Structure 1
């Protein structure tokens, strides 16, 4: 017999002053999700909180964007025993505060490199959707970030996604692409894993779930 349990997933923490420039997204305050206690949902939550714990050890400290504006980080995550994957993205201000964050569930791409390419394109599109005009973009896939930075590998299996991303980025006044190590990308990775909890796209504006807030706090307080 399968028993469904109401699990309160989000305790959202407002990380800054109210947004003076409302976007197409409204603030999400809380959610209640029905789940089977033995399902993968609880496994994904365990992964997220493991990230929270590990983030406090050897964490790479937050550093402002070289553009002295916004920094957008992104990542992808593959869900075990599933035909789905997750994309996570977070836009932060120069002082480290959250501007916006997203978790999006997508069909499982044919390869990890294509998943990372999709995450990069989604991050740039997300920046445009929330209305920012300049940002640096960071991901932990070296081949994708090098391709975006140099405009390389356009004839590869993910070349069309690189081209799409660069075309989208050209709509910004100023942008850059750079690689970050995995320990410097735990917030985006946790958001990608969190996509498992939702039906499709979930967006937060200057307000994030408690587990994500804990990662941000660890990020800012790292030595």
Structure 2
């Protein structure tokens, strides 16, 4: 399956270069060719368990705010290989009520790690623009969040963004950053996927909050 997935990625990259005029990105091909296999295995496992009546999907637990936190801001990134990406950000107030939602497209940015880092940056700047403090920023990008919390440097072109995010978090003592699983971040994930599908017509003004409530 991995070999077939690799061939499929090579073929898709060929089509992007020849028919869409995109620039070939070896890093994208090398880093992401395994993803479809893992997703297929996970989906197949879920479907088999559901078919056999063994899997019961438990409801999500109520949102619990960390002590001293007034807002929870969830973020996520979505990537369309060799094309573009988008970020989704959701602001939740007391009792987990969605207050606002933001989706933003990112042109010519397809590195998943950097996209997740940009999602954190956009979430912080968005909340700061509204004058919000004591915010808990949460996402499911564990590697990126661990690097930020450990104060690590980044040995690639994302290093400048990493340092900027670290400085933004250090400037306000009431803000916190934490990792949550995908199941607890699926609202921001849906906003990111919707923003990805709307790009580049996103500039027209799409009310993500109304879309979520609908």
- TM-score class, shorter-chain normalisation, is 0.5 to 0.7
Q: Which has the higher contact order (CA 8 A, sep 6+)?
A: 1
Report the counterpart of residue 109 of structure 1 in structure 2: 109
| Larger helix share, 1 or 2 | 2
> Which blocks of at least 5 consecutive residues in structure 1 are unaligned?
1-55, 215-223
> Which blocks of at least 5 consecutive residues in structure 2 are unaligned?
1-55
Report the counterpart of residue 3 of structure 1 in structure 2: none
TM-score normalized by structure 2? 0.64
Partner Cα distance (1:176, 1:110) in 2 = 27
Structure 1 residue 203 displacement after superposition = 7.0
Partner Cα distance (2:126, 2:182) in 1 = 21
Local SS of the residue matching 2:96: coil
Report the counterpart of residue 73 of structure 2 in structure 1: 72
Q: What pairs with 1:13-92 in structure 2 (closer than 5 Å)? A: 57-66=57-66, 67-79=68-80, 83-92=83-92
C-alpha offsets along residues 18-71 of structure 1, whole Å, 9 cap, x if unaligned? xxxxxxxxxxxxxxxxxxxxxxxxxxxxxxxxxxxxxx9445324232133101
Pairwise CA RMSD of aligned residues? 2.5
Contact 2:86–2:105 (CA under 8 A) maintained in structure 1: yes
Structure 1 residue 100 displacement after superposition = 1.8
Partner Cα distance (1:203, 1:69) in 2 = 27
C-alpha offsets along residues 149-202 of structure 1, whole Å, 9 cap, x if unaligned? 221134444322121112223443511111111111100011101112253465
| Larger strand share, 1 or 2 | 1
Local SS of the residue matching 2:175: strand
Partner Cα distance (1:97, 1:157) in 2 = 37
TM-score normalized by structure 1? 0.61
Partner Cα distance (1:158, 1:171) in 2 = 20
